[in-house]
Amino acid sequence: MDGSGTLKQLQTEVVQANSQLQLAEKLKDFSVRLVLTAHPNQFYPSAVLGIIHDLGKALQKDDTVLVNTYLQQLGKTPFFKKEKPTPYDEAVNLIWFLENVFYHSAGHILSFLKSEFQDAVTEENQLIRMGFWPGGDRDGNPFVKADTTLKVAEALRQSIIKCYYMEVRLLKGRLTFQGVDTLLASLEDRLYKNLFIPGYNAYLSKDEISATLIEIRDILIAKHNSLFLNKVNNLLDKVNLFGLFFASLDVRQDSSVHKELVELVSEKTSVLPKNYKNLSEESKIQLLQNIDSLVVDTDLDKDTFDTILSIRTIQRFNGPEGCHRYIISHTTSALNVMEVYGLCLMAG
């Protein structure tokens, strides 16, 4: 694509105006965050998405036989399921777009900018970030629980590892050189074990993948005439972009839920005074700043505390960026923020 608003047009305008330095300065603090949200009526089932994806490729190749076949298949495939999708189903459907659209397009954008404006793109500022709401957004959705959030986070992790695994397998067919092939085989083995061996996810990190690819890159430059260096750099860009989280899972809840839970804590426990509900906003904030941890019992909203604790679990396996935003709906005062802070302290 080289029309208005495309990267090709940007490249042409920057070069013609000799504005490379201005672009580099702008990109120091410029970033785009794409957040994927979901509603049962906003997407097709995965089977339909797969057909549409293949149909698009057939159209690009002008393969009329395949186009006709896929259109017939599409006409016989249900566009809507009889059962209402669960929050996890919604997440899985959107992960399809991450795997088949954003993984490739975001990587291409970064690689293009780095190749055309080498000094303008730095690792200190990520130009593209992905956010993800299904499985984390429980505002108005009583079916999203802490275990749902953990399950979706694991699905995101497995999905990005699968993308890396498939790309490493393709690289193995090109990087057959001495000193590189063994490194690539070792990386493939670690990715494979994380995909197919339960409980192995603690033995892989973004830094580990990046370090291996950087070592491979250095060997290609030093010993193998930089053959297929662009492919290694492209994968390295994706690893720096997506890590092991693919998209940051945002937790979202209405402020009224936090307010009711904090007041319930004051009624049922000794962590907060019994007259907490009648105190001024300033007094409540002071109390919430210095609150002690709490042993949660069944009389309280245990799922809210479990959700807070799940963030720590997600960060341990997916990295800090796996879940680092807690969105409070209908926030009207500083107290609404401090209520969440206090609940985090109570959760330990």
Question: Could you give the percent of the chain with pLDDT greater than 90?
Answer: 54
- Give me the pLDDT at residue 2, please: 64
Distance CA 328, CA 5 (A): 34
Same domain, 232 and 168: yes
**Closest to 217 in 3D by CA, of 205, 231, 197:** 231
Same domain, 240 and 262: no
Same domain, 255 and 303: yes
For residue 38, tell me if it sits in a domain: yes
Where is the domain boundary, 201, 220, 249?
249
Same domain, 38 and 187: yes
Where is the domain boundary, 226, 249, 272?
249
Written as one string, the DSSP assignment of 230-250 is HHHHHHHHHHHHHTTTSSEE-
Where is the domain boundary, 197, 219, 249?
249
Q: Which residues contact 224 (CB under 8 A, 6 or more apart)?
A: 177, 180
For residue 314, tell me if it sits in a domain: yes
Same domain, 113 and 175: yes
For residue 294, tell me if it sits in a domain: yes
Name the strand (E) or helix (H) holding 110.
helix 103-116
For residue 234, tell me if it sits in a domain: yes
**69-88 pLDDT tens trace:** 999 999 988 877 777 778 89
Q: Which residues contact 83 (CB under 8 A, 6 or more apart)?
A: none
For residue 67, tell me if it sits in a domain: no
Same domain, 158 and 142: yes
- Give me the pLDDT at residue 296, please: 65
* For residues 262-269, average pLDDT: 89
Two tokens, residue 148: 């749902």
Output b/e per residue, 132-158; b: 16+ Cβ within 10 A. bbbbbbbbeeeebbbebbbbbbbbbbb
Range scoring the smallest mean pLDDT among 8-12, 178-182, 242-246, 304-308 = 8-12
For residue 136, tell me if it sits in a domain: yes
For residue 74, tell me if it sits in a domain: no
* For residues 29-46, average pLDDT: 75
For residue 53, tell me if it sits in a domain: no
pTM of the model: 0.85
Same domain, 203 and 342: no
Number of domains in the chain: 2
Same domain, 86 and 225: yes
Same domain, 212 and 319: no
Same domain, 259 and 233: no
Residue 268 lies in domain: 251-347
pLDDT reading at 42 higher than 60: no
